[in-house]
Structure 1
Amino acid sequence: MGRTVKKAGKSKKKTKGSKNPEASSSVNPAVASGPAKVWQPGVDELEEGEELQFDPEAYNYLRGFSTGWPCLSFDVVRDQLGLVRSEFPHTLYGVAGTQAEKAAWNYVAVFKLSNIKGKKREPIPSSTVDADTDVDSDSSSDEEEEEETNEDIKPVLHLKKVAHVGGVNRIRSMTQQPHICATWGDTGHVQVWDFKSFLNSLADSGPVVHKEDDKIHSHVPVKVFSGHKDEGYAIDWSPLVTGRLVTGDCSKCIHLWEPSLNTWEIDTKPFVGHSASVEDLQWSPTEAAIFASCSVDGKICIWDIRTGKQPCISIKAHNADVNVISWNRLASCMIASGCDDGSFSIRDLRLIKASVCLCMHSIFRKKNISEMAF
C-alpha cells in the first residue's frame, strides 16, 4: 500500500499549520513524478527531505473533515451504540487537540461524525475477477457525484470547541468513563477534563446539518498537574483500574496518577529508567500494576508499580527513536513497537532473559503466542 516518495521539507514532530479547512479536508496525496512503488522498511532508504505517500485505493471509504487547526492527536470516544457495528451508516464520537498558530487559539475539538456511508470490503475485488476496471471506475465516479448532489447521504460533522491553554501534544479518553479525557500540553501541563456536557449536547444534535459552532467554550479542567520538568507525549489510562493514569515527558520521567474521591493523587517521585524522552506508554491489558514504555533511547521498558521506580525489564528494541508501542490484547506476553526509521518489531517477553521478579511472573503465565492479535 505504498506510493513513490515525494520531496518535502524536513519535518518536525510538531507542525503548526495554517487554518485552511479546504486543505485539511483533502485526502488526495500530491502527485509524485515517476512510477509508484511499495516502500520496504529496512530495504529502501529515504533521502533527506523525502516523505512517503499513502495509497487512497487501499480504503473503501476515505474522507477528510476539518476541525479548524491541525491536530497532532485524537482519540475515539467509546459510546453506547454497540461494540460490533458492521452496517452503514456509522456514527462515532471523538476528541482531538489542536496545534494552532498562537497558543491562545488552541482548543479541544469534541466531535460527532454521523451518516457515514460506504460499502463492505469484498474478499476478492470484482475488478480482479471480471477484468472490467472501467465499470468499477464509472461506478465509483457515479457514487461520488451522487454524494455531492444528495444532501441526505453526506456525512455530518458536529463540533464543539473547548478552550485549551497551549497546543495539545496528545489526548486520551478513559475507557471506563469516556467523557473523562486527559491532555498533554506543550506548556508542560497534564490536564484532566470532564466533557460530559459537550458529548450529551452532540448526542442530542440529531441528523440535521448545521453550521459549525465557531464559539470556543471556556471550561475548567478537573485536575492540572505541573510536576513534569518538560512537555511530553506519552500518556495512557489503565483498562483495568478506573482512573489510573501514567504520563511520561521529554525529560525521561514517568509519573503515576491514582484516583481518589473524584480527584487524583499524583506520585511526585517519577519512574526513571530511560536515558531520553519517553515517547509512548501502555498499560498491560491483563495485569493492573504493569505498564510498558518506549523511548528515544531505542528501548522498551516493562514496569511494575509494586516493585519500585526501576523497570523490571529493559530491552534494546531499535537503533533509533521508538515512537509507539502496542500491547497484545489476547496474549499479554507479546508487544509490538514502531521505530522512527520505519521499522517495527514484535517481541515475546517470555524469551527475554532477566532476573525473576513478580512482574515477569505475571506476564509470562499468560496465553500462548498463537493467540496474538494486536
Structure 2
Amino acid sequence: MPRSLKNPKKAKRKNKGGAKKGEASSSSSNGIPSIPAKVWQPGVDALEEGEELQCDPSAYNSLHAFHIGWPCLSFDIVRDSLGFVRTEFPHTTYCVTGTQANSAAANSIGIFKISNISGKRRELVPTKTSNADTDMDSESSDSDDDEEAVNDGPKAPVFQVRKVFHQGCVNRIRAMTQRPHICATWGDTGHVQIWDFSSHLNALAESETNISKDATTVSNQTPLVKFTGHKDEGYAIDWSPLVPGRLVSGDCMNAIHLWEPASDSTWNVDNKPFVGHTKSVEDLQWSPTEQSVFASSSVDKTIAIWDTRLGKSPATSIKAHDADVNVISWNRLASPMFASGSDDGTFSVRDLRMLKEGDAVVAHFTYHKRAITSIEWSPHEASTLAVSSDDHQLTIWDLSLERDEEEEAEFKAKTQEEVHAPTDLPPQLLFVHQGQKDLKELHWHTQIPGMLISTAADGFNILMPSNIESNLPANTAAA
C-alpha cells in the first residue's frame, strides 16, 4: 500500500472538487461560444488545449480547505459537546492529526479547531445559478485571518491549532469515542503511544482567535503510555466503541496486540500477540455490537475475524481481494455489513451473516483506477459509504440505489437543461469529489450529518455534498 506523504512543499490549490470540464478562459474572452459543461472522469477523459477543470459550486452545501504545514497521512474527528446532531450553519469541529515531515524531529501532532464553517442548504433539484451565489472558500482557510469567500460572501472559517512534538512520522491517529481527549498514535519509529490532550482541547474551546500555524509553539508532552512491544512499525489501530479504553494495534510483521485499560491513564498490553496473517496487518476494526470481536485486513489479501475469548487465532479468515486489503469498515448502523478496499482499486461489501455459505460478497465495485486508501460507512445512513483512492478521487456510494430511467428523465426535465453526465457510471455512485492530490484518509462527522473531512498530500478538505441529505429532522439536537 503506498502510504508516504513526506513532502516539504506547502502547496495550495485554487480549484476544488473539479466536478465539471469547462471552457478555457481565453475562449470566453474572445467571445467564442461556451462549450457545454460535462462531468470529468479521471482516467477516462483528457484535457484538450485551452480547457480547464472547474468546480461546480452548486454540488456542495459547503466546501473549505486548509493545511497545517506538513502533509498528514492520518487524522481523526474528535467527539465534542456542542450537540449530538447539528444541522444549522455555521459549524465547528475538532480534530487531531499527525504530520509526515522530511525529518523525524520536525514532526508533531496537531490538535485543531475549525469554527465558523459556512454553507447553506440547497434544493436536491438544482436551478441555474451564477458563481456569485456560492459561499464557499476559494483558498486555504488559514492563509489570512480576514480572508473572505468568493464575491464578498461569509468570512473563511477560523482555524486554530496547538502542536505537540512527536518523534518520527505519525502513521495513524485515533481518538477514543468515550473519552475523546485520549488519543493513540502509531509512529514510524515502531512505537504505539497514548496521549491526553484535554488541556489543548480545553484551550481551543475557550479561544475565538485565529492561531497561525507558523507562530504556534510545538510543546513537549510525555505520553501516558509508550508501547515498545511491536517488532516493526504499523498502521492498524482501533479503539473499541463498546468498552472504553480497549484497543488493538497491528504491525507490519503481522502481529496484533490487545490493550486493556487498568485505570484512566494506564493500560495493560498483552505481550503475546494475535497471529493469523502471513503478512502486514493493514487495518483493524472492532465489532459495533460484540465486545470481544474485531476484524483485521492484511497484505496477504485476507480479512480475519477474531474473538478475544477464543485464543490468539482467527475465528474465521477469508480471501477478500486479489491484492493487499488496505482498509476495512464495519457498518455501525447495520452490523452484518462489512466493507473492504484493496490495493488494486476495487472495494467490496460483504454480509457477514453469509460467511458460512461462501464469500458473502453482496457488492463489488471496480470504479477507482488506483489503490483504495480509506473507506467508511456513514454514521447516519446505513446504506451509504465513502471511499478515497490514490486516483485523487473521493466518492460517495448509496447501495440502496438502482437505475430508474423514468426518474432520470423527470430530473432532467426539472433542471430545464441538458445534463452531460456519463451513462456508464454505477447507479450507486452518488458523488465524486476531486481537487485533492493523493487522498489518504476520510471520516464522516458523527455529529454533523452530511459532513466529511479528508486529508491528502496538499492538505485537508471539509465538504458537505448537496445531494447527501440526512433523514434526521432539522430541529433534532442534543447536548
Interval containing the TM-score (normalised by the shorter chain)? 0.7 to 0.9
Instruction: Measure, in 1, the Cα distance between the counterparts of 2:299 and 2:244.
Output: 29
**Helix, strand or coil at the partner of 1:15:** coil
Single out whichever of 147-156 and 257-266 deviates more from structure 2.
147-156
Do the aligned residues in 1 keep the contact of 2:119 with 2:135 (CA within 8 Å)? no
1:139 aligns with 2:133: yes
Two-structure CA RMSD over aligned residues (Å): 3.1
- Residues 372, 225 of structure 1: alpha-carbon distance in 2 compared, 3 angstrom cutoff: same
Q: Structure 1, residues 58-94: CA drift from partner, whole Å, max 9, x if none?
A: 5332222121111000000000001211110000000
Q: Structure 1, residues 22-43: CA drift from partner, whole Å, max 9, x if none?
A: x156554799999864369xxx
Please state which structure has a larger fraction of its residues in strand.
Answer: 2
Partner residue of 2:329 out of 310, 315, 326: 326
Q: How far off its partner does 1:349 sit? A: 1.4
Give the structure 2 partner of residue 17 of structure 1.
Answer: 7
Q: TM-score, normalised by structure 1?
A: 0.80
Q: How far off its partner does 1:140 sit? A: 3.2
Structure 2: which 5+ runs fail to align?
24-37, 45-52, 139-146, 359-380, 386-479
**Helix, strand or coil at the partner of 2:344:** coil
1:311 aligns with 2:314: yes
Instruction: Measure, in 1, the Cα distance between the counterparts of 2:384 and 2:148.
Output: 38
**Helix, strand or coil at the partner of 1:235:** strand
Count of aligned pairs between the two proteins: 330
Structure 1: which 5+ runs fail to align?
1-10, 45-52, 128-134, 356-369
**Helix, strand or coil at the partner of 1:198:** helix
Partner residue of 1:202 out of 201, 204, 208: 204
Instruction: Measure, in 2, the Cα distance between the counterparts of 1:103 and 1:121.
Output: 45
Do the aligned residues in 2 keep the contact of 1:181 with 1:195 (CA within 8 Å)? yes
Do the aligned residues in 2 keep the contact of 1:75 with 1:94 (CA within 8 Å)? yes
**Helix, strand or coil at the partner of 1:279:** strand
Q: How far off its partner does 1:315 sit? A: 1.2
Q: Structure 1, residues 86-135: CA drift from partner, whole Å, max 9, x if none?
A: 110000000010000110010000000001101124211113xxxxxxx4
**Helix, strand or coil at the partner of 2:272:** coil
**Helix, strand or coil at the partner of 2:64:** coil
Do the aligned residues in 2 keep the contact of 1:25 with 1:63 (CA within 8 Å)? no
Give the structure 2 partner of residue 61 of structure 1.
Answer: 62
Give the structure 2 partner of residue 341 of structure 1.
Answer: 344
- Residues 310, 89 of structure 1: alpha-carbon distance in 2 compared, 3 angstrom cutoff: same
Please state which structure has a larger fraction of its residues in helix.
Answer: 1
**Helix, strand or coil at the partner of 1:352:** helix
Instruction: Measure, in 1, the Cα distance between the counterparts of 2:188 and 2:83.
Output: 35
- Residues 142, 211 of structure 1: alpha-carbon distance in 2 compared, 3 angstrom cutoff: closer
Q: How far off its partner does 1:234 sit? A: 0.4
Matching of residues 12-91 of structure 1 within 5 Å:
12-20=2-10, 23-24=11-12, 28=16, 37-38=40-41, 58-91=59-92
Give the structure 2 partner of residue 132 of structure 1.
Answer: none
- Residues 12, 294 of structure 1: alpha-carbon distance in 2 compared, 3 angstrom cutoff: closer
Instruction: Measure, in 2, the Cα distance between the counterparts of 1:274 and 1:27.
Output: 42
Give the structure 2 partner of residue 298 of structure 1.
Answer: 301
Matching of residues 223-372 of structure 1 within 5 Å:
223-261=225-263, 262-353=265-356
Aligned-partner residue type, residue 89 of structure 2: F
**Helix, strand or coil at the partner of 1:202:** helix
Q: How far off its partner does 1:149 sit? A: 7.8
Give the structure 1 partner of residue 105 of structure 2.
Answer: 104
Q: Which has the higher contact order (CA 8 A, sep 6+)?
A: 2
